[in-house]
Amino acid sequence: MTANPNPTAAMLVIGDEILSGRTRDKNIGTIADFCAELGIELREVRVVPDEIEAIVVALNELRARHTYLFTSGGIGPTHDDITADAVAKAFGVDLPVDARALKAITSRYTNFEMTPARLRMARIPAGGDPIENSVSAAPGIEIGNVFVMAGVPVIFEAMLASIAPKLEGGVKLSSTSVDSYVGEGTLGDELAAIQLSHPGVKIGSYPQFGVGKGPMTQIVMRSADKGALDSATEKVRAMIDRLHRERGIEPEKAGP
Amino acid sequence: MTANPNPTAAMLVIGDEILSGRTRDKNIGTIADFCAELGIELREVRVVPDEIEAIVVALNELRARHTYLFTSGGIGPTHDDITADAVAKAFGVDLPVDARALKAITSRYTNFEMTPARLRMARIPAGGDPIENSVSAAPGIEIGNVFVMAGVPVIFEAMLASIAPKLEGGVKLSSTSVDSYVGEGTLGDELAAIQLSHPGVKIGSYPQFGVGKGPMTQIVMRSADKGALDSATEKVRAMIDRLHRERGIEPEKAGP
């Protein structure tokens, strides 16, 4: 992979259990933090069912469009674990049992019976490499710019830890935030003007409901340009302070 | 909308805050449960940033492909709330201030100043209708088969409650589950055979790590065909009972 000051990424969550409501996804939040920490911009996330065609289409669209594609789910030993098959199909390569993956799986267990089901977990698409799994031994798959990982959150996180050193990060964004006890409708017009005069800063406004008394809005600013970030933050803070003063709001008493 | 025994849906989550890691999404799990309850098959989910072009592309792909498209996020009064603009662009229609939406917003407040920011929330793409919001008054948008809702979970849920009677549900799936204290690698081959002989039942296998002692796998079966579901469940239960017996596992003592 070549040096890229602005690497981007997509995440593909594979799993009927997320779409059916059986399981609440945790890996989207994890990958968002992981990318932010490395200065990789997470640009899109998709969730697709356990169906080869849907997975292949998403794999090919997302890997073409981004520096990195991370996937979670579908790499276990049961019939519904078809991610490796889909990856091989997306890349147009074979899916042989890999000696390194097999060793990782067998060396973990004593009294181990290599069932056909377990053998499925040792398949790596041709040209790919296993990703180490310190939790349950069965490896993930690295192929091209695609990193195929487990859906079980603790294993997904273990695999991220093992691939992190291989990824090229980019410029890390700094962020600041200012809490406001006036609502978005009150501060919105001035905030838009501050955004307009600070194009290098992404300003987001996040209302919260049901916490403390009265409206609570958090303004979040993110930028790779520390000077622009400080300037925008100062302007937002001054605006919020004035709006509080005008309304007799004492922030330290206003809410949680 | 015409009667459809197998309605499908997609969910589009709009928000930089999910991709940056600032906010953990809760609406994907909510919409998954909502669809399951109505017999609507949730087929895909996407998360995109607060960028008009990315939102328009996703809107047009997903609304063409599914019976319903639900969106969350980007409908507030601040500059980063651009979902209504993207929807108008995706449908190729104007985005006028809507009298019904304006009334919903103004009637909620006394001593209310209609700022330009607040007026943004009263815009509804031509041909669309407001979705009632019992929490904070500012409406969502219904247009064609697209339902545009707030990102704040409590408001998203309130809007779902108000659109539920308008949606045509389909055949609701029944589901069963069997807990196993043997690992997926042990039961995988037999489970694959049961899946093969029950094509009308979707059988999923979900390993859990770090709960109780030893491996714990939950087998989940879903089907619209109650007879097929019962047959598959019976076969899975018999297999698991035998595997437990062979290994001297007493399930009631084995785990959490």
**Per residue, what are the HEC states of A13-31?**
EECHHHHCCCCCCCHHHHH
CB spacing of B28 vs A47 below 8 angstroms: yes
A 10 A CB-CB count for A82 gives 18
Across A76-85, A214-223, B66-75, least confident range? A214-223
Cα–Cα distances in Å, from A151 out to A18, B11, B44, B171, B207? 10, 20, 17, 28, 10
- Rounded to an integer, what distance in angstroms lies between the CA atom of residue B190 and that of residue B236? 9
Contacts of A44 in chain B (CB under 8 A): 19, 46-49, 54
Tokens (6 digits) for B171: 């055949």
Q: A56, A66, A79: best mutation site toward chain B, by most B Cβ within 10 Å?
A: A79
Which of A46, A81, A189 has its CB closest to that of B117?
Answer: A189
Residue-level pLDDT at B9: 98
Q: Does A43 touch chain B (CB under 8 A)?
A: yes
A 10 A CB-CB count for A189 gives 17
Residue-level pLDDT at A1: 46
pLDDT tier at A190, thresholds 50, 70, 90: very high
Q: Which helix (H) or strand (E) holds B251?
A: helix B251-254
Residue-level pLDDT at A35: 98
Which of A24, A78, A135 has its CB closest to that of B209?
Answer: A135
Residue-level pLDDT at B57: 98
Task: Find the mean pLDDT for residues A151-163.
Answer: 97
Q: Please tell me which residue of chain A has the smallest CA distance to B219.
A: A78
Instruction: List, as own/partner pairs, every contact residues B1-4 make where C-beta atoms lie below 8 angstroms and the sequence separation is at least 24, other chains included.
Output: B1/B67, B1/B145, B1/B168, B3/B168, B4/B67, B4/B168, B4/B170
Q: A11, A25, A28, A57: best mutation site toward chain B, by most B Cβ within 10 Å?
A: A28
Tokens (6 digits) for B228: 């097929």
Contacts of B29 in chain A (CB under 8 A): 21, 24-25
Contacts of A135 in chain B (CB under 8 A): 209
User: Looking at the predicted structure, is the pLDDT value of residue A256 above 50?
Assistant: no
Tokens (6 digits) for A34: 């992981």
- Rounded to an integer, what distance in angstroms lies between the CA atom of residue B248 and that of residue B162? 52
Angle formed by the axes of helices A52-65 and A83-91, nearest 10°: 50
Task: Note whether ipTM > 0.85 here.
Answer: yes
Q: Does A174 touch chain B (CB under 8 A)?
A: no
Residue-level pLDDT at A208: 83
Q: Chain B 78-107, CB below 8 Å of chain A: which residues?
A: 78-81
Residue-level pLDDT at B11: 98
Q: Chain A 204-243, CB below 8 Å of chain B: which residues?
A: 204-210, 220, 222
CB spacing of A208 vs B35 below 8 angstroms: no
Q: Which helix (H) or strand (E) holds B242?
A: helix B226-246
Judged by phi (left if over 0) then psi (alpha if -120 to 50, else beta), residue A65 lies in alpha
Which of B25, B113, B220 has its CB closest to that of A22?
Answer: B220
Q: What is the pLDDT of residues A99-113, one digit of tens each?
A: 999 999 988 776 678
User: Looking at the predicted structure, is the pLDDT value of residue A63 above 90?
Assistant: yes
Residue-level pLDDT at B252: 64
Q: Chain A 123-162, CB below 8 Å of chain B: which residues?
A: 135-136, 152, 154-155
CB A130 within 8 A of CB A124: yes
Q: Which helix (H) or strand (E) holds B47?
A: strand B41-48
Written as one string, the DSSP assignment of chain A is ----SS-EEEEEEE-HHHHSSSS---HHHHHHHHHHHHT-EEEEEEEE-S-HHHHHHHHHHHHHHSSEEEEES--SSSTT--HHHHHHHHHT---PBPHHHHHHHHTT-SS----HHHHHTTB--TT-EEEP-TTTS--EEEETTEEEE-SSHHHHHHHHHHHGGGS---PPPEEEEEEESS-HHHHHHHHHHHHHH-TTSEEEEEEE-SSSSS-EEEEEEEES-HHHHHHHHHHHHHHHHHHHHHTT--HHHH--
Contacts of A191 in chain B (CB under 8 A): 78-79
For chain B (256 residues), the mean pLDDT of every run of 10, in chain order, is: 79 97 97 97 98 98 98 96 98 98 86 86 97 92 98 97 96 94 93 97 89 79 96 98 92 56
Residue-level pLDDT at A253: 57
